[in-house]
Structure 1
């Protein structure tokens, strides 16, 4: 259903009229069939949106998704996605009209702030159902229109539903004059772990091989971290003499030379990929296959997420480890997945350390059964709590798409 124009909107469009500027990006052709347009305002939210897109397309085969980012986005920073990204055109009336005429989306989701009145109001006028997720009172009005009184309210009112993550955001949006019935609290999109089952017999056999010994895992360990991890293991063995370390290297080519180094350090080693057996006196189990982490996360109550202790790498995704029941330890450099590590730290599912000594002390502390179990539970709850809400959102999107398709067929 289209929206009536306001005088402020008419003035805003006249003042922000302009010839669309070349973007420097080639515009892909519109895919055939049903198209959902999702705009992501913040690079930190891209991975969660990407995960949502995968789940939605599994539920609705044949659906194409257009992901857009702000006009001035540096696409190098928006790399955490396996879908093509298209920058929105500048906040100009002609550019907004051209964007919608080219893509003709069947529905739009806007994630976050930075609302652009021209493209949002034109979408509403074309009868495109629009929903705002993680809404903020943040409208990106062109400079010429900043004095117009009700552009913000009119922009928000173009959405059929507005989801916010805090009551404060809800109050700010309602104060603009937006009907309260449109605004609802809803948790932010989060990443849902994709967990592959592991053969039960192998899991039982591996646990049996450790025969009740304390075990910890160091996953995705970079070559620069080898000495720190091994020093921490030696330190921890002073308190837990039967302690076993599963050492998973980030670079598979490092496995063979690392085994020689372990032998020179008088650490008894078994190479999992070579088929070595885990024996009662084995102190380090060397692994390099990323797929095998599905086994090791299940076996180890405590996991150090490597590639985080030395600067410059940014860490690896901790979501599978948390979902599979491991208490997490990490270093200070988690820039590649900062929001997720911050969330895990915040609920007590992860600990940050900065030195090998701190790592050894923390391993010993967390191997106390109750503590590791409580941390693991907190992590599992964090990464799985949003699943019902995501299902609700997928149902809502499908309902709007079905309704829009029925309206389109009837015209």
Structure 2
């Protein structure tokens, strides 16, 4: 594995550059100043006694998909401690709110040998469950070297990543995937790619994102904001990225001529981008009320900028039409369309949904979402859905049915993981009893 050896050598020699990068990110609010040491492998709390399962997801989407699994494991195997690691400030805040008792969060260390070893020395995991495509070489190889069993959950391999791995680093890919005792893929296409790169065994039991509960919201705040919006027709641009706030402002201006008194809601993917998003929209000429500044929506407000963390459930309950960010311009890839669909919103997205290729294609086939080709198409689709209640409700109904249609994925994942979990901590109750309690 010469490429992996070269990678680790270069990373290990780059301690000054790594620390400088982390400090720069810290200054920009992208690292938690109080928990900075965790990124260097320094534990933020003692290790609990007993068996420990380590689950890792890169950011918000991956960690949200792990939550139902963590909750079920805590219920069925109470002897286990769950250690959940992520890499972003936003995901850390979300996990602080939603992790159940008996589960702890830490930031994932940077992928240097001293940091990973320090982390492993302290936490001594009995099992590692990696979500999606988080194949950090030092993390994987150091964990495998200690004999810790590993499984890949919700494994994903995009077209571009697969081509690059096969063409430039086939041996490295096999070296990273072969230590996994099990790889559970999101889709059959992902399963085939993982097999071709060296994972074995590979299975496809469904996408864990289907197991997520509806995004929560304070009912009192939902009611308060609905009253403040005054019955105005509104739509939401959800999980926007750089350039999409300006696009949304232009769409609003075009809509205003077709949908009287329309209000646009915007929720950036990263709340810290709120001020930049506001500036981009105001440059277009729209009037913005910003939630993080406590500004109220008035009759003169064009755009309500919801630059807050953990409030997807609130925003998606206010807007009956939702457009998914990162799907029309820029790098693309899309964001999770199941979140608003689960709440009954009529879902729109652009053609660039590579990160949710299987889900988006199936939603379109089921009439559970619509795709828009460009900015003008987005204007047309939003205008139609805001003025045609029957079409809007039909799309929302199909979306909700689709999002709720694969609740059996979590039991299938648990069954697949049972051979790895049973030696660590046996179940406290049979699956039928646990399922019955969960559905009560």
Query: Contact conserved, 2:128 with 2:151, CA < 8 A, in 1?
Result: no
Instruction: Output the CA distance in 2 between the equivalents of 1:404 and 1:199.
Output: 38
Instruction: Output the CA distance in 2 between the equivalents of 1:196 and 1:285.
Output: 20
SS in 2 for 1:86: helix
Instruction: Indicate whether 1:353 and 2:415 are aligned.
Output: no
Give the corresponding residue for 1:270.
289
Give the corresponding residue for 2:314.
295
SS in 1 for 2:304: strand
Query: Contact conserved, 2:216 with 2:314, CA < 8 A, in 1?
Result: no
Instruction: Output the CA distance in 2 between the equivalents of 1:84 and 1:216.
Output: 44
The match for 1:246 among 254, 260, 265 is 265
Query: Contact conserved, 1:66 with 1:85, CA < 8 A, in 2?
Result: no
SS in 2 for 1:380: helix
- Residues 129-165 of structure 1: per-residue CA shift (max 9 Å, x gap): x9896788998799xxxxxxxxxxxx99xxxxx977x
Give the corresponding residue for 2:162.
none
Q: 1:253 to 1:375 in 2, by over 3 A?
A: same
Instruction: Output the CA distance in 1 between the equivalents of 2:137 and 2:197.
Output: 28
Query: Contact conserved, 1:323 with 1:380, CA < 8 A, in 2?
Result: yes
Structure 1 residue 187 displacement after superposition: 4.8
Give the corresponding residue for 2:239.
220
Give the corresponding residue for 1:319.
338
Report the number of matched residues.
312
Instruction: Output the CA distance in 2 between the equivalents of 1:51 and 1:206.
Output: 28
SS in 2 for 1:310: coil
SS in 2 for 1:373: helix
Give the corresponding residue for 1:366.
385
Instruction: Output the CA distance in 1 between the equivalents of 2:308 and 2:152.
Output: 38
Q: 1:57 to 1:243 in 2, by over 3 A?
A: same
Instruction: Indicate whether 1:384 and 2:439 are aligned.
Output: no
Instruction: Output the CA distance in 2 between the equivalents of 1:296 and 1:111.
Output: 27
Give the corresponding residue for 1:86.
140
Structure 1 residue 390 displacement after superposition: 1.4
Instruction: Output the CA distance in 1 between the equivalents of 2:252 and 2:137.
Output: 41
SS in 1 for 2:81: coil
Instruction: Output the CA distance in 2 between the equivalents of 1:23 and 1:269.
Output: 49
CA RMSD of aligned residues (A): 5.0
Structure 1 residue 102 displacement after superposition: 5.4
Give the corresponding residue for 1:151.
none
Report which of the two has the higher share of helix. 2
TM-score (norm 1): 0.57
Structure 1 residue 35 displacement after superposition: 7.8
Instruction: Output the CA distance in 1 between the equivalents of 2:421 and 2:182.
Output: 12
TM-score (norm 2): 0.54
Structure 1 residue 351 displacement after superposition: 1.9
Instruction: Output the CA distance in 1 between the equivalents of 2:246 and 2:283.
Output: 10
Q: 1:84 to 1:290 in 2, by over 3 A?
A: farther
Structure 1 residue 202 displacement after superposition: 1.3
